[in-house]
Amino acid sequence: MQWLDVSCLLTLFILSAGAQSQNQVCTVFTEAKKDGFEAMALVGLAQNLPDSLLVDMVPLVQQAFSMGVLCCSDEPPKDCNRDVADLFQSAVCSSETLVETSNLTHCCEKTGSERTDCFVDHKAKIPRDLSFTSESPAADQCEDFKKDRKGFIERFIFRFSKRNPMLPPHVILAITKAYGEVLATCCGKEEAEAQTCFQTKKPTFQYAVRNRVNEIKALCITQNKYGDRIVKAKKLIQYSQKMPQASFPEMSSIVDKIVMTTAPCCSGDMVTCMKWRKILMDEVCGNRSVLSRVAGLKACCKEHAIDRGSCVEAMKPDAKPESLSVYYDLHTHIAQICLTFTKTPDAALAQLIYEISVRHPESSQQVILRFVKEAEQAFLRCCQREDQAGCVKTAMAGCDINKKITEEIEYYKKMCAAEATLKDDNFEKSMIVYYTRIMPQASFAQLHMVSQTLADVFHGCCNDEPNGFLLPCAEEKLTNILDAICNDYDYSSFNPRIAHCCNQSYSTRRPCFLALHPDADFTPPGLVSNTFPMGPELCTDDRKKLLLSGKRLLYGLVRHKTNITEDHLKTISANYHAMREMCCATEDHGACFTQEAPKLVSESAKLVNV
């Protein structure tokens, strides 16, 4: 399969989602051709079969391919009008072994929409893979890529689809295409240059992938926990900030359609998801009135159909209308707001969200939502009274949106200064210390991932600070991380304070976590030899391995005493690294660690427990 075929396949996914052909399978098969159709089958199959091997997929993909050939014959069977999802489900159900090992027997006993719903529900229950993964060296990947591009693509799609069963297929294939471009660029160079190219481009690619996957996951968590109301509010802020030239009715119409795509896309119903995405972009890009005023949207609508959605999502805010006032005076408009609020509260709040968002692209969604939440309480208290304006003014005394935005920006600037001072590794270590203090019940694997993601967030968002988008970048991503903690883990098993924050409203979770103190009620494990990673494996120059061992050390120390001082952490860390340097300089690394490790543990225990 060539990388061009993946591009064609992306287009095909979008076209087939809205196809009303009498022979949908043949339509898809003809456009995709052999390699494209097989890639489509591979995504659909791998996402439903997490315990399968690539070799298990071969006969199933071949079966789907044979059906494509048959549907394009002179006398196609009547069932060729079914959608592609049904075709892939039939392929899965034809393998008794895979059906049994994947616990899909009950789904395969159903037919039609009931079977589709069952498969969707099955995918939603597949656990996310949180394990640490090691990747092949760049030279090995380039060698594999050059030898067998088709096989390399298949393996990439298969692994990525299995690890991300709820990710929309068009996103998986777009990521595949992007990674192929990295390989095509770097692997054509001499070995030394290829390695440098890989080291430069791959981290950027990986960050972009993590960012995209986390964004989609976070939106789905929000939709599942808080429903369409919060999703609509978030999207209204996001796109009002991007397109301040669009009117409130125009923006409301766009956002309503975006919200319609969220539930099917998050549920795993990918055919319906892609159908609604196509309808959304067709309608938005077909609105000439909006396009004539929104330059960024106009540019995105000129992109290829498969790139339009991601272009709009990445779009920077357009210039504000010249007639737009700098600030929105809530109190001046209180009579009209209350008139609307008493009849349709959500409509009044949506108008308020829009008015603030178009004026403040530098704000985060969460700051605006916290302000509107306070305004809502004031409206509930005051809109039925005669002195509406005076009542609202009193109720919202000290609640100034401009002040809130400024305070939050200053907080994140301080975090960026800390990130710049500590550098990446030490900043990441400081994050695992903080989160181990407040949730010591969490496993190292969980907190390692949290601290790594936090470091990624600040590294990326702090670079965006000069452009004025530090706050929306940082708080959105931090909120996403906290939402993932509350969603992925059994937060009730941590401690009551974490559970309390996880049950807060969407916009107040981050401030709640930030206000937590070290868990003083945690019963700590003893400080023993296996608290520290100590052995010959520390004698390496691999930065990632050394960072991991350093984080394990800090995790063990903080769990032993959640209020351990920073000075004690620094002292023990320095002693630990001194022991490592000494033992790694000896001939018998193992003997040295065996002798020195108990001393370090004993000295550390005395220091911590003073």
For 456-504, write each residue's pLDDT tens digit.
Answer: 899 889 987 667 799 999 999 999 999 988 988 888 888 999 999 999 8
pTM of the entire predicted model: 0.84
Q: Is 40 exposed, middle or buried (0-12, 13-18, 19+ CB in 10 A)?
A: buried
Q: What residue ranges define each of the domains in the chain, with the CATH number in brackets?
A: 3-216 (1.10.246.10), 224-318 (1.10.246.10), 325-397 (1.10.246.10), 404-514 (1.10.246.10), 529-608 (1.10.246.10)
* Residue 143 reports pLDDT greater than 80: yes
Indicate the pLDDT class of residue 3, thresholds 50, 70 and 90: very low
Q: Is 209 exposed, middle or buried (0-12, 13-18, 19+ CB in 10 A)?
A: middle
For the stretch 146-185, pLDDT in tens is 888 888 888 888 988 888 888 887 788 778 888 888 888 8
**pLDDT at position 362, please?**
94
The whole-angstrom separation of Cα 197 and Cα 233 is: 42
- Residues 582, 588, 594: CA angle, nearest 5 degrees: 75
Token pair of 407 as six digits = 């305070």
CA nearest to 283, candidates 18, 582, 602: 18
**pLDDT at position 232, please?**
96
Contact 369, 507 (CB under 8 A): yes
Token pair of 497 as six digits = 């304070």
* Residue 8 reports pLDDT greater than 70: no
SS3 286: coil
What is the mean predicted confidence (pLDDT) over 216-236?
Answer: 93
For the stretch 417-432, pLDDT in tens is 999 998 768 999 999 9
For the stretch 106-132, pLDDT in tens is 999 998 889 888 988 888 888 666 443
DSSP 506: G
- In percent, the amount of the chain with pLDDT more than 90 equals 45
Distances (CA, A) of 109 to 64, 84, 115, 328: 19, 19, 8, 59
The whole-angstrom separation of Cα 56 and Cα 58 is: 6
**pLDDT at position 132, please?**
38
Beta strands in 105-145 (DSSP E): none
Torsion over CA of 102, 108, 110 and 114, rounded to 10 degrees? 50
What is the mean predicted confidence (pLDDT) over 121-145?
Answer: 71
CA nearest to 50, candidates 108, 157, 109, 128: 128
